[in-house]
Structures are given as C-alpha cells and as structure tokens.
Amino acid sequence: MNIFEATTSLTLTTDFHKKPVDEKIIGLILHTGTHAPTAGNLQEWEFVVVEDDAKKEALSDAALGLRHVKIAPSVIVVCADLRKAALKYGKRGELVYAPEDIGGCAAYMALAANALEIGFDIIKSFDEEEVKNALNLPENVRPLIIMPIGYPKGKKEDRKINPFENVTYVNKWNQKIDIDFDPIFHAMADSKPKNK
C-alpha cells in the first residue's frame, strides 16, 4: 500500500478482535509517529502503551464510556511533555504547538496502522485528569489522544469526504480553486507495467 492509498482508505475502527497486536507492529506504529514534524523540532511526544484490562477500563470510563477503548487489545495514549514545549515557546508552546504536534504525530501513527492493516481510532474527547490518574502521569505530561488499536472486526465503512475543491480558495477568500487532477495513486497504478 502506498502513502496515497493509506491516506484515502483510512477509516476508524470501533470493534476489534481479541488477538493481540505484535509488539513489533506497535513499535513500527510508534516509530512512524516520531517522524512527524514538530514546532522547532521539539518532539515533545510521550507514549503510554496500555494492555492491562483494568487500566483500559479506566481509560474507557475517562473517554465517556467508549466500549472499544476497553475491548481493543492495545491502547496507545499519546501525550505531550509541556515542560519541553514551554522551554522554547512558553505558554504558546504548551497551548498551541504541543496539541498541534501531537495531532500530527497521531496522524502519522494512523497512516502506519492503516498500511499495516491494523484498526485504530483517534479519541480526543476524554477527562484528562482521569487519564493522568489512571496512568500515573507526571504534572508536566498532558494526555491528548487515546488511540485504541487492534485487528478490525467486520468490514470497514467508507468515510464521506468533502472534496478539497469545496473548501479551497486561491489568493483570497471565495475565489474558488480550479484544478484538473487525477488522484496520484490512480496515475501511479496506470503507469505500472502490466503483467502479461
């Protein structure tokens, strides 16, 4: 699967098989996340991989009772080290750059998971204090994303995507972009030699 296929086929998973995800696959997902760009190359991410059932239950409770957090074989909590973010950029680092950077990191992880045929979800709505308490996070480490991962159960549903042409302007607001393009992965597939 190339990057364009990984991006455009990306869907979220809310039901998982019980089969555990191999630690090497988890490592590859985390490794990919650490290649996301960050403000000033801060790389302020911290990860907690949760496989303990009681801790997954606590994370599920913190995430408004979302069932798939507790049934996923693994849950990755993506956090930001606010002390590191503030060291270079002060409050703006803590409040703006850290959440932006962690979002980019999670996106890279999602693409890696999808390319590896691992299901995942990106959960942003949860009680941060409950998560901090459940995982014994230090004061300077803020949990920003809960990512349950595992082998998906059932068929993935396609997401409805608003075409970029509907939300893109050139030079000024309300001057629509007009691009004639073919998604590059179609062009790449057309250019590959055909087996006879």
CB 132, CB 48: distance < 8 Å: no
**Residue 97: predicted pLDDT:** 96
| Domain boundaries along the sequence of the chain | 3-150
Write the pLDDT tens digit of every residue in 75-115.
999 999 999 999 999 999 999 999 999 999 999 999 999 99
Strands 74-81 and 119-120: unpaired
Q: Is the pTM of this model over 0.85?
A: yes
Q: Would you say domain 3-150 falls under CATH 3.40.190.10?
A: no
CB 54, CB 157: distance < 8 Å: no
Distance CA 109, CA 103 (A): 10
Write the pLDDT tens digit of every residue in 126-172.
999 999 999 999 999 999 999 999 999 976 666 788 888 888 898 99
Give the H or E element holding residue 184.
helix 184-191
**Residue 133: predicted pLDDT:** 97
Residue 196 pLDDT greater than 50, yes or no: no
